[in-house]
Amino acid sequence: MGTLSAPNPLVNLSRCEAVFSRNPIPTKLYSANEEYLLEILQESDLISPAQIDEARGQRQPKEVLVDALVRLGHVKEVDAARVFSVNAGLEFVDITHFTPSEEILALMSVDDAKRYRVVPVGFDQSRLQVAVSDPFDFETLDSLNHVLSYDVDAVCASPEQVNDAISRWYGESLAGADGEDTMVIVSESAGGDGERGVQMEASDAPIIKLVGQILRESFKAGASDIHIEPLEKSVRVRYRIDGMLVEVGNHPRNLLSAMVARIKIMTGAMSIAEKRMPQDARIQLRIGDKDVDLRVSTIPTNHGESVVMRILDKTALKLGLPELGFLSDDQATFERLITLPDGILMVTGPTGSGKTTTLYACLNYINKPDRKIITVEDPVEYQMSGINQVMVKEDVGMTFAAALRSILRQAPNIIMIGEIRDLETASIAINASLTGHLVFSTLHTNDAPSAVARLADIGVKRFLIASAVRAIIAQRLVRKLCGECKQPGVLNEMQIRGLGLDAAQLADSSVMAPVGCVRCRTTGHKGRAGIFEVFEIDDEVRHMINENLSTPNLRRQARELGMRTMREDGIRKVLNGMTSADEVLHVTMADAD
C-alpha cells in the first residue's frame, strides 16, 4: 500500500491563492467555468494567452478548453488539478501509487465511484475521506453525504488518477453502465431458468440506472428490506440492515412515479396504471452469481405510492443450526426434537423474528433422500432442492387446508405448514401428526407457553394439543457484536439490574462492548442471531394442558421443569460476548421474569 503524496512544491501556490482571494469559488462544473479556470492557470504561470488561443482554435466538439490544453501538451493534467484544488480550498493528493484497504473500499460501491468520479482514500470513525476529480463540484459532495450515510471529507486528485484508481481498485472498466450488466431479471414463466433480459445497459434511462443501483447496493449492504417512501418534497430510500432502518438517500419528489413504474414493470405482474389499490408481486434477479428474490408490495399513501421490497437471498438459505444462534445445549435439544418420527414442532414469535429462517434450517438439516418432505407456504420464500413446495393461492381455492388435505395423499414423512391460521388448518395438522407425520409450523404468540392458549382459542381441543404437540420454540432476533471491532467491556449498574445478574455470573463472563468500524458501518453490530425459549411437552406438561392451566401458571410450571426464557438465553449470549446487554434488554422488554 502506498502513501498519499503532498502537493508539488514547484507549482506557484502563492499565486494560486492570490487568484482565489480575488474570485469567489464557483459552484458550477468545469465545463461551465472555463474563463475562471483559464484565469487560474494563467495566474499560476502554467499557460499563456497564445496557448489559450491555440486551444480555442483546435478544440474538438464539446471539448472543455482545459482538456484541449492538456491534449495539446501545454499543461499537465496533474498540475492543473493541483492549482484548481488550492482555489477550491482542498488538499491535493497523489494517488498514483496508493491503494486503500479493502475495508475502506467496501464503504463505496463501484457504482457510486463511477457515477460521482470519486474514490475513497481514508476513514476515521464516522468520516470518510474521498478523492474527487472536480474540486468545484460541491453538489457531488452534498449527494455523497446522503448516499453513503457518512460525513464526507474531500481531497482532490487529478481526473486521470481518479479514473485509473477506479479501474485498479475495483477491477472495473469505466466503459459501460456502472457494472449494471451483471444484474439479470429471471423470468418466472421460464421456471427460474430463463432470462427475461439483461438490465441497465449503457444507453438505459437514468431512472432505470437509479432503481438498479438501489437494488444492487441494498444487496451488497446485507439489507433485508428496501423502503421507497414518498414524502411531501422528496422520495426517501431506506434499507433495513440487521433489523434497523438506515436512510441511504433522498431523491427529488418528481422521480417517484417513474421509480414506482420501473419497479412494477420489473415484476411483470403489476399494473402501472393502478395507483389507488395495493399491489403485490415478486421479482427474481440474478446479481452477479447470486440468485435473489424480491417480494414487492405497493400501497397508496397521501403523498403517492409507497414501495417495500423484501430481499430473499437464496444463498443465505443453507444455514446450520449454530448459525441460527443456538448454544451447544439448546442445539443438542433442538437436533433431537427435529428428528422425532411424529408430532408437531411449532416456532412462535412476531413478524420479523426469524421463524421462517428457523424452519428452513430445520428442513435443510433433515433433508435426506430417504425422506419425503412437502411444504405448504404463502408464499414460497425459498426454493429448496429435494423438497416439494406448494404455494397457497386463495383466489383459486388453494388454501392451507385444501393443500394439506391433498398432500396427505402424497405420503410425506415430513410436512411444513407456513402458518396455522384457523381451526381447519390446525385440525388437519394435528391429525397428520397423530397418524405418523412430523409437522413443522409457525404461530404468532409472544412466548412459547402462550401457543397452547392460542391453539385453544382457535378451537383445538386441549387433549389434542397435549397429544400432538412435541415442543414449542419461541424466538427473537438480536444484533450480534461485530467480530472485528468488539472489545472487552463492563456492564453498568442499570444493565446488571435489568438483566438480574449477580457477582458470580459476572466473574466468569466474557462481556464485550460494541465499538464500531468500517466493516459494521460504525454501528458496532454485524449480523443477527436468535435467542430462544424451548418448551418441551412432556408427560407432566401434558397433564397441565389437560387440566386447563392458565398461561401464567403453565409458564411457571414450565420454568420449574427447566425451561429457559428468551431473556435468560439472551443473558448467556451477553456473558459469552455474542451480543450486548442493551440488545437483550430491548428485545425482551416484555419478559416479566
Model pLDDT for residues 65-113, shown as the tens digit of each residue: 788 888 888 888 888 888 888 888 888 988 888 888 877 887 887 778 8
CA distance 410 to 374: 9
**Own/partner pairs, 5-8, CB within 8 angstroms, 24+ separation:** 5/93, 5/94, 5/96, 6/93, 7/82, 7/85, 7/86, 7/91, 7/92, 8/78, 8/79, 8/82
Contact assessment for residue 134 and residue 109, using Cβ atoms and an 8 Å cutoff: no
Cell 450488466 found at: 181
CA 278 to each of CA 211, 271, 297, 307, 455: distance values in angstroms, whole numbers, following the listed order: 20, 10, 7, 10, 31
Separation of CA 314 from chain center: 14
Average pLDDT for 445-467: 94
pLDDT in tens, 24-70: 333 333 433 677 788 888 888 888 888 888 888 887 777 777 888 88
- pLDDT-derived band of residue 181, with 50, 70 and 90 as boundaries? very low
Average pLDDT value over all residues in the chain:
82
Q: 301: pLDDT confidence band, cut at 50, 70 and 90?
A: very high
Backbone angles phi, psi at 53, to 5 degrees: -65, -40
SS3 249: strand
Q: Which residue has the higher pLDDT, 420 or 180?
A: 420
Count Cβ atoms below 10 Å from residue 580 Cβ, excluding itself. Answer: 26
How large is the angle between the packed helices 423-434 and 400-407, nearest 10 degrees?
A: 20
pLDDT band at 470 (very low <50, low <70, confident <90, very high): very high
Phi, psi of 113 (to 5 degrees): -60, -45
Residue with cell 404461530: 443
Q: Do 522 and 589 meet the contact criterion of CB atoms below 8 Å apart? A: no
Number of residues that make up the chain: 593
* Pairwise CA distance, residues 518 & 503, whole Å: 35
**pLDDT, tens only, 457-469:** 999 999 999 999 9
- What pLDDT band is residue 313 in, cutting at 50, 70 and 90? low
Mention every residue, 6+ apart, whose C-beta is less than 8 A from residue 575: 505, 506, 508, 509, 510, 511
Return the SS3 of 52: helix
Among residues 310, 243, 245, which one has the least CA distance to residue 478?
243
Which residues make beta-bridge pairs with 227? 238, 308
Among all chains, which residue has been given the C-alpha cell 433422500? 369
Give the model's confidence band at 205: pLDDT under 50 very low, under 70 low, under 90 confident, else very high.
Answer: low
DSSP string, 272-305: SS--SS-EEEEEEEEETTEEEEEEEEEEEETTEE
For residue 124, count other CB atoms closer than 10 A to its CB: 9
